[in-house]
């Protein structure tokens, strides 16, 4: 069992080091075997860029603005799930047990700051593993970066 629930709010010192070199992550669908998703597969889906993104760390200050690129989480879910009634929320969890929960409403009604992304590029260059590949970017979250999940390991569909 995990010592900490990665989905509960918590104060957090950001982990500077990737938990592994492996960028491929798993998607877990109800009643199905997990599927493996690579950067290569993400790069073949429609690409979206979101400019003016900031990573606001309570301990280390703000960095940015960044232009993150990749696949919107909505486009990704649509590419995986044909039946859009089959889910209500997603859990995005990193290899170092850091995570956040995303509701369907957040994806269907994106904030004016921009859509939630599975980011694979930063300012037009491939995101390095150290920079978080594959990283969740939630453009409207500018409090403490607790939703800007680096090193996605699992996406669970609920």
Ligand X SMILES: Nc1nc2c(c(=O)[nH]1)N[C@H]1C(S)=C(S)[C@@H](COP(=O)(O)O)O[C@H]1N2
Residues making contact with ligand X (CB under 6 A): 12, 14-15, 55, 57, 63, 94, 96, 98, 145-146, 148-151
How many CA atoms lie less than 13 Å away from 22 in the CB half-sphere? 11
Q: Cis link prior to 128 (omega < 30° from 0)?
A: no
Nearest residue (CB) to ligand X, 15 versus 43: 15
Token pair of 58, please? 């309570």
Binding partner of residue 148 among Mo ion, ligand X, none, CB under 5 to 8 Å per kind?
ligand X
Nearest residue (CB) to Mo ion, 97 versus 144: 144
Q: Cis link prior to 65 (omega < 30° from 0)?
A: yes
Candidates 113, 99, 110, 111; CA nearest to 154 is: 99
Smallest separation, CB 133 to ligand X (Å) = 11
Binding partner of residue 15 among Mo ion, ligand X, none, CB under 5 to 8 Å per kind?
ligand X
Smallest separation, CB 141 to ligand X (Å) = 10
Nearest residue (CB) to ligand X, 107 versus 146: 146
Smallest separation, CB 85 to ligand X (Å) = 31
Q: Note the residues at the interface with Mo ion (CB under 5 A).
A: 57, 144-145
Binding partner of residue 103 among Mo ion, ligand X, none, CB under 5 to 8 Å per kind?
none
Compute CA distances 67 → 37, 112, 136, 143, whole Å.
23, 15, 13, 18
Nearest residue (CB) to Mo ion, 35 versus 60: 60
Binding partner of residue 72 among Mo ion, ligand X, none, CB under 5 to 8 Å per kind?
none
């Amino acid at each position: 069992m995990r010592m900490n629930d990665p989905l509960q709010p918590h104060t957090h010192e950001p982990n500077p080091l990737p938990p592994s070199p492996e960028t491929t992550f798993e998607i877990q669908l109800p009643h199905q075997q997990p599927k493996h998703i690579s950067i290569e597969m993400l790069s073949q889906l429609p690409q979206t860029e979101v400019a003016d993104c900031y990573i606001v760390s309570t301990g280390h200050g703000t960095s940015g603005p960044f232009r993150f690129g990749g696949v919107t989480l909505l486009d990704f879910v649509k590419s995986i799930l044909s039946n859009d009634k089959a889910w209500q929320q997603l859990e995005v969890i990193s290899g170092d047990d850091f995570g956040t929960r995303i509701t369907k409403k957040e994806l269907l009604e994106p904030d004016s700051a921009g859509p939630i992304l599975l980011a694979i590029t930063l300012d037009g260059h491939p995101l390095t593993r150290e920079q978080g590949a594959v990283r969740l970017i939630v453009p409207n979250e500018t409090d403490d970066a607790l939703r800007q999940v680096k090193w996605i390991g699992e996406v669970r569909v609920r």
